[in-house]
Every structure is written in C-alpha cells, then in structure tokens.
Amino acid sequence: MTFSKSLSGRTIFPGTTRGTALVSRMGISFYGGVDPETGIITEPGHDLEGQSLAGRILVFPSGKGSTVGSYILYRLQKNGHAPTAIVNADCETITAVGCIIAEIPCVDQVDLSQIKTGVPLTVNADQGKITLH
Amino acid sequence: MQLTPEEHAILKGKSGPAAQKALQILETLGRIYGAERMIPVSSVQISGVSYANLGDAGLEWLSEMAEGGGQACVFTTLNPAGMDIENYLQLGISEEFAVNQRRVLDAFQKMGVVTTCSCTPYLFGNLPRFGEQIAWAESSAVCYANAVLGARTNREGGPSALAAALTGRTPAYGYHLDENRLPTLHVRVEADIKNTPDFGALGKAIGDRIQTSSTGRVPYITGIDSASLEHLKSFCASIATFGGVALFHMPGVTPEAGSHSRPVEELALTQVDLDQAKTALTTASPDEIDFVSLGCPHLSLREIQRVATLLDGKRVTKEFWITTSRPVKGMADRMGYTAIIEAAGARFATDTCCVVAPIEGRFTAMATDSAKACYYAATKNKFKTSLLPFDDVVREATQ
C-alpha cells in the first residue's frame, strides 16, 4: 500500500469490513428501487440502474421512499445479496433501521465526494472511520 | 443521548434479543435526530401489515422478533392488512396470499399487538388524550392524533413503531417537543369547504404547496368554521399523503390552536385552487367507472349508517367495496346495516383497504370520496379516479 486516506463520520451500526466501493450520487429507494432477490438496482434513470449492490460497500447520500425499504435490506442480508457496509452523507430512518435489523455496518456524516466507484475501502463503523486504499 | 441504567441493560440484552434490537433502533434514531433522552409512550399504532407490502422480508423479520421474545408493553394496535381476514375469497384474494397474511398477523398477535387492522384506531379504544406522548405509524392517524387530539407523535415507520411497542419508549425529538409544534405558515382558506371531498381537495391543495416550500410543515389554517370527525379524518389523510404533514392547527377546531399565534408568512387558497385540486383527482370519465369504494380512512359507524340508508331497497350495478374496521362492522351487523348493504350487492372489505389490498390493475376506474384513495389508486393500482361527494359515490354504484 503506497497511499491511504481516512475519512471520519458517525456510527449508525457498528462492524468492520473491507471491500470495493459502489458509489451513487442519488438517493436510493430500497422498496421498489432494488430487486430484493438479486440486489440489482432497478429504478429507471438511477445512476446505478442495472448494477448489483451485493457484496459491495454501498456509498450514497441518503435513503428515500417507503419505510418498507428497511425490510428489503434485511431480505438481501438473509439471501446473501446485501451490501457489506453502507456509507451515507445523511442517514435517515429507512436506511438506519434497515442496517440495524440486517446488521450491516453503517457510517454517515462522511464527505462522499472523496470516494469513487471501484476504490478499495475499509469501513470501521465502530469508530466511524473510512480508509481509502 | 442520555440513557437510563435500565435502557443500557436492555441494550446489552437483559430483556431478550427482540427488546435489544428494538432499543438499538430507537437509540440510533435518537442519535440521528438529536434526541437527548427516551420518553415513555402510552399508545402505539403499527403500520406495515399487508403482506403485499411486507413481502417475505418483512414477514421473516416480524417472525424473528416474535420468536425473540418480543412483547408489547403498552397498548398497541395495527394498521389494515392486505385482506378481509374472514371474507377474502369473495373479494378475489388468493389462498396463498391469505396464508402469508395470516402468518404476519400471528407474529403480531404473539407479541401482544391487538390485531385491529385499521387506520382509525381512535374510533375504538386507542384514543390518546391531549398532550399524551405516543408512537404512531400510519400517516393519516399520525396527523389525526397530533392535530385533532393534541397527542404527540412523530411519523413512525413500521419497525420504529414496533420498537416503541416492545420497549414502551421513543426518543424525544420532533413533534414530542413544544418547539416543533409551533405553526410555521398561515394558510388562509377562502373557499367553501363543506363535505369530505372538499376537505380532501383542501388537503391536496395545501399539501402540494407545502411540499415544495421551505417555509415549514406546520400549517395554521383559518377560514374553516366547523368540521366533523369524518371531515377531519378525510382531511388528515389527504394533507399527510400530499404534503407529508404530521401536524396542523385550525382555530376553533383543533385543541392546540388557541395556544399559538398566527404565523406572519401567509398562503391564500381560493375556490379556484380547490377546484383545480378536485379536477386533478378526477381523471375518469363517468362511463369508465367500474369500481366504487368508500372507507379511506376506514368508515365510521355514522358513515355506514348513511350508506345503508341510501342503498335500502336498491341494487348496485358495479363492484362496490366498503372498507372499515372489525369493531365498527360488528355494530353495523347488530344494527342491520350490513344486511341492507349486502342485500343491495355491495361488499364489506373489513380489516383491509384499497391502498394495501393486492388489487393492482383489477379495475379501470374508481369512484370515491377520498383524495388519499385517489392518489394511491392512480400510483399503486393504476386505476383512473373520480372524486365525488359521499352520497354521489353511493348513487354511482347503483347507476
């Protein structure tokens, strides 16, 4: 490793994981906008439309839509297609509750402009710390 | 956020995995929204009951919470399910759906949640008093509780409401606190508002404007002299649907209005604005209507009495659903209203409603007196809509 950079944020749900970033600049509606069986984003016109969030560190500004969306994250976790961590600018109720019930590490209040799709990350949600490798 | 020793113990698992998960949810929401502490709640209303919305994901989680020893420790009632629990086959709901819907209700019942299956818990026993701290989901009931009853709740979702039920607590932020209940915008109504579609259209007219405005979300509404329970339930459903409004004040009508002064910022609504809102909700031509529906929010006994009067000795020519709660239906049965209505060929869809039942695409166009029902019929079920006064809706069914 020749270069690494850290970002700090706030713990929403603890846990530590390492993976590759999948970054959206748009809100995500888990209910209706994500296929609960595959983790593929289906919302027409979304900047991640057609991509799968399974096994990725999902980075997006904030959740939106129905509160049923929390259950979609739980479903994805049960069938092995959940993101391994979530990084938000402003976490709201739907994403927060989804991460708690699905036990997905989650950090918010992070400067997302520093993170690009494909970048390897370590998310230490216990300390609210994101490391870019 | 300051937690009590008992709350710390629950977070460590002292009261079992379900209560632990519930408190994790509440503690996190409290941190996100800047609550300083938890407060006790004395009443809960839970949404997210229809299997059509929950799917297997929601069902699994609810079952896990029930198996994890979750028990409601305050009085808790439930939103409409996806079907009439006793009469689903006649309404065209499949046995497969029914099996899954029953599993959802079983999980709630195991947790001590009263399976009322209604959006109007305030009509039968879940009626918080002025100033009471509660945790309610169901946007129309939240608005009714805050504005009409003067109780205090945020707009909870299904999981956060369940979490409040299992712990008897909610984080103190938002509408629980005095400072967030102050009106932020004066809405001056200069139009004739007299029946449920008028109140529904007013809810849309205000809601549409508040949603796109940065001036705030607690309207102070003048120009309405009186409103019945049925008017207010229709209005609350509409202003919550179109504007996300959880609280309003209406001098002479709602109990908190007198303790606030009128905001300076003003929005005037005229008859033209009202008529525009009504026109936008009427997309069907009269000859297209093949579905007639009353009961969004669930019908009161007074409204069912009126339907029976209007249908007595008549015959309906279209599919006509009356959606209401089981307790209200029980009184309608005793009074003979149910017999009159069913003899005319209309159907009761008890425990459910046209927003959450799996009826997408089954009809072309729906007539109703509810602005909220029009919104969901169009967006969720792909029906055209016609917004009519209550009596005209019943007449439409017999034409």
The per-residue DSSP string of B178-241 comes to GGGGS--EEEEEES---SHHHHHHHHHHHHHHHHT-SS-S-EEEES-----HHHHHHHHHHHHH
Q: How far is B200 from chain A (nearest CA, A)?
A: 22
Q: Out of B54, B58, B160, whose CB is closest to A93?
A: B160
3-state secondary structure of A17: strand
Residue A95 in contact with partner chain B when CB distance is under 8 A: no
**Window B:4-23, CB contacts with A under 8 Å:** 21
Q: Is A67 on the interface with B (CB under 8 A)?
A: yes
Q: What is the pLDDT of residue B216?
A: 56
CA distance B179 to A122: 41
Which residue in A74, A75, A93 is closest to B157 by CB distance?
Answer: A93
Q: Do A66 and B53 touch (CB under 8 A)?
A: yes
SS3 content of chain A, % helix, strand, coil (to 5): 20, 30, 50
CB A79 within 8 A of CB A12: no
Q: What is the pLDDT of residues A6-18, one digit of tens each?
A: 999 999 999 999 9
Label residue B214 by pLDDT band (50, 70, 90): low
Looking at residue A52, what DSSP letter applies? Answer: B
Which site among A12, A38, A70 would you substitute to test the B interface, given the most B Cβ atoms closer than 10 Å to its Cβ? A70
Is A71 within 8 Å of B21 when comparing Cβ atoms? Answer: no
What per-residue confidence (pLDDT) applies to A95? 94
Please tell me if residue A100 touches chain B, with a CB cutoff of 8 Å.
Answer: yes
What is the number of CB-based contacts under 8 A between chain A and chain B? 70
In contact, B226 and B254? CB cutoff 8 Å: no
- pLDDT band for position A2 (50/70/90)? low
Contact A68 B48 (CB under 8 A): yes
Known catalytic residue at A66: yes
Indicate if the pLDDT at residue B14 is higher than 70: yes
- In 3D space, the residue among B49, B37, B43, B44 whose CA is nearest the CA of residue B4 turns out to be B37
Instruction: Please give the share of chain B, as a percent, with pLDDT higher than 90.
Output: 90
For residue B243 the two structure tokens come to 């504007």
Chain B closest-CA separation from residue A46 CA (Å): 19
pLDDT of the residue at B219 = 96
Question: In this predicted model, what pLDDT tens digit does every residue of B243-270 receive, in sequence order?
Answer: 889 999 999 999 999 999 999 999 999 9
Q: Which residue of B has its CA nearest to A94?
A: B157
Q: What is the DSSP letter of B287?
A: G
Nearest to B58 among A10, A68, A108 (CB): A68
* Phi, psi for residue A124 in degrees, rounded to 5: -105, 90
Q: Is the pLDDT of residue B285 over 90?
A: yes
Q: How many helices (H) and strands (E) does chain A have?
A: 3, 8
Q: Quote the CA–CA distance of A34 and A73 in Å, as a whole number.
A: 9
- Give B60: exposed, middle or buried? Use CB within 10 Å, 0-12, 13-18, 19+: middle
Residue in chain B closest to A89 (alpha carbons) equals B32
Which residues are CB-contacts of B158 (< 8 A; sequence separation ≥ 6)? A67, A68, A70, A71, B46, B47, B48, B49, B54, B58, B137
**Is B109 within 8 Å of chain A by CB?**
no
Q: Tens of pLDDT along B347-388?
A: 999 999 998 888 989 999 999 999 999 999 998 889 999 999
Q: In chain B, which among 135-154 make CB contacts under 8 A with chain A?
A: 137
- Encode pLDDT of B308-330 as tens digits: 999 999 999 999 999 999 999 99
How many CA atoms within 13 Å lie on the side-chain side of B312? 8
- Does A70 contact B54 at a Cβ distance shorter than 8 Å? no
Asked if B159 lies within 8 A of A97 by C-beta distance, the reply is: yes
Cβ-Cβ contacts under 8 Å for A88 (sequence gap 6 or more): A12, A59, A60, A61, A62, A63, A95, A106, A107, A108, A110, A112
The CA angle A65-B368-B285, to the nearest 5 degrees, is 100
**Residues of chain B contacting A72 with CB distance shorter than 8 Å:** 57
Write down the number of H helices and E strands in chain B. 14, 13
What is residue B273's predicted lDDT score, i.e. its pLDDT?
A: 98
pTM of the model: 0.92
Give A45 or B386, the one with higher predicted confidence. Answer: B386
B55, B61, B137 member nearest A101 (Cβ):
B61
What confidence category does residue B212 fall into, taking pLDDT thresholds of 50, 70 and 90?
Answer: low
Q: Is the pLDDT of residue B13 over 60?
A: yes
Calpha distance B189→B198 (Å, rounded): 12
Active-site residue among A24, A66, A70, A113?
A66
- State yes or no: pLDDT of B215 exceeds 80: no
User: What is the C-alpha separation between B354 and B254, in angstroms, rounded?
Assistant: 29
Whole-angstrom distance, CA of residue B202 vs CA of residue B274: 6
Token pair in block for residue B79: 């939103």
For residue A51, which phi and psi values (nearest 5 degrees)?
Answer: -95, 150
Structure ipTM: 0.83
Whether A66 and chain B come into contact, CB under 8 Å, resolves to: yes
Would you call B174 an interface residue with chain A, using a CB distance cutoff of 8 Å? no
